[in-house]
Structure 1
Amino acid sequence: MDVACVVPAYDEIGTVERTLDSLVGTESEVIVVVGGTDGTAGVARAHPAVDLVLTDTEESGPAAARNRGARATDAEVVCFTDADTVVAPGWVARHASHYHDPRVVCVGGPLRPLDGSRRDRLLFGLLSDWWYRVSWPVGFVQASGNNCSYRREALLDAGGFDESLPFLEDTDCSMRLARRGRAVYDRHAWVATSPRRQHRQGYLGLLGEYAAGYARYLLDAQRDSGYFRRR
């Protein structure tokens, strides 16, 4: 099974090396799509895990960066993670193993807090693991952008990540792909990611923002109203 791992990285010089360290030894092509001016590109080019660095001159957001990375490889399966995230040992192999079933088009897994507190671990467990275990079997497939993979042909045929959506673009992509085949949630294919956004916005604020977004998405209410384009 040919696999590529795509890592969007915008001004992540302080975190990208740790991400790439976690990908050393994986049986996959590693592609970093770099934006910004802080030297992240130099770190990526010098790292032994990296096969290809693409410069994101347009800086149109993570959806566009993921799509560009997916188009730059011929691998059958494309895994995605972020430059503030550390993947578990065997993460690529766990994702790839599910695609031996030709029906599978999408795989996701849980998130853990990277260097987080006990409170972070509890809330991540509830919101980024147990919630997924409940929602995926009933068809609400939310493959987080920093822990997901797709069969490349199916992803590109579906148009990839919607680059016009800065919010819920990862949920939108996994929901669309789940209608084309089988989506698998693997609770052992975890990644540890920075809780900085949760700390900045607060868990309750983020929960409310996503709950409202999910409700509008599920109801398909006025998709062109601008709600999904609001940062």
Structure 2
Amino acid sequence: METASVVVPAREEWTTLPRTLDSLADQDCRLALEVIAVAGDERTGRVARDHPVVDRVVDDGQCNGPGKARNRGAAAATGDLLLFTDADTVVPPDWVRSHRRHYATPDVVGVGGPLRPLADEVHHRVLFKLLSDWWYRASWPLGFVQQSGNNCSVRSRAFDAIGGFDESLAFLEDTDLSLRLSERGHVVYDERCPVWTSPRRQEREGYGRLFCAYLAGYVAYAVPGVEPGGDYF
């Protein structure tokens, strides 16, 4: 039976990380599950070490971005499958099992799912549905696969073969990984496998500005030699 490792990058997330870890402790899967926290500061690291579900805490004191943090966690992982989520995200009890079932198909190398807001306001629920679910459903069949970094999984050997996340990217590193991964096999979008995540970025920046930033990032990503993102994220 394939084993799974969950990687959770966390920087200055000592208040939100416990809820994420609690949701991983509640998984109903029957396979061996390894949880690795990648801590970007001492206080978050202490919270991670104190939680019983965490098997290993990896120090990321340099804080060189999400891609590098996820790669550091993946390098410490031992599972056949790598799952990634964030420290402001809550996963459902069947999250690992839902991802894992797709890997019964040999050519599947990755799985992604939708995002839902950890907020009850109607505008958050509607816009998350539009931008973090329907957009994926529309783009995926066209070949523009883009697993979100807080709700994705990959086969470990495929992850290693493509060199993991591109650490030079400050933005869209998860989309870049997905597109490179799709060249090695099938990347599945499972609309029945959501996670709930904080809308704090949307509240801070506004949906309009955030949408423009992503649009500019997609355009820059498509132009050779232009790095998307910069200092925005």
In which range does the TM-score fall when normalised by the shorter chain?
over 0.9
SS of structure 1 residue aligned to 2:129: helix
- Structure 1 residue 230 displacement after superposition: 4.2
- Structure 1 residue 226 displacement after superposition: 4.1
Give the aligned residue type for 2:60: D
Aligned twin of 2:160: 156
Give the Cα separation in 1 of the matches to 2:230 and 2:160: 22
Give the Cα separation in 1 of the matches to 2:85 and 2:158: 19
- Structure 1 residue 117 displacement after superposition: 1.2
Give the Cα separation in 1 of the matches to 2:230 and 2:204: 20
Of 197, 222, 225, the residue aligned with 2:224 is 222
* Structure 2 gap ranges (5+): none
* Structure 1 gap ranges (5+): none
Give the Cα separation in 1 of the matches to 2:140 and 2:127: 19
**Most deviating of 40-49 and 13-22:** 40-49
Aligned twin of 2:13: 12
Aligned twin of 1:110: 114
1:21 aligns with 2:22: yes
- Structure 1 residue 181 displacement after superposition: 0.4
Aligned twin of 1:30: 35
- Structure 1 residue 104 displacement after superposition: 0.6
TM-score (norm 1): 0.94
SS of structure 2 residue aligned to 1:199: helix
**How is 1:85-124 mapped onto 2 (pairs within 5 angstroms)?**
85-124=89-128
Aligned twin of 2:55: 51
Q: Which runs of 4+ in 1 moved over 6 A?
A: none
Give the Cα separation in 2 of the matches to 1:198 and 1:221: 26
Aligned twin of 1:2: 3
SS of structure 2 residue aligned to 1:68: helix
Give the aligned residue type for 1:15: T
Cα distance change, pair 148–183 in 1 and its aligned pair in 2 (3 A): same
TM-score (norm 2): 0.94
1:116–1:195 contact (8 Å) kept in structure 2: no
Aligned twin of 1:179: 183
SS of structure 2 residue aligned to 1:161: coil
Give the paired residue count. Answer: 227
- Structure 1 residue 227 displacement after superposition: 4.0
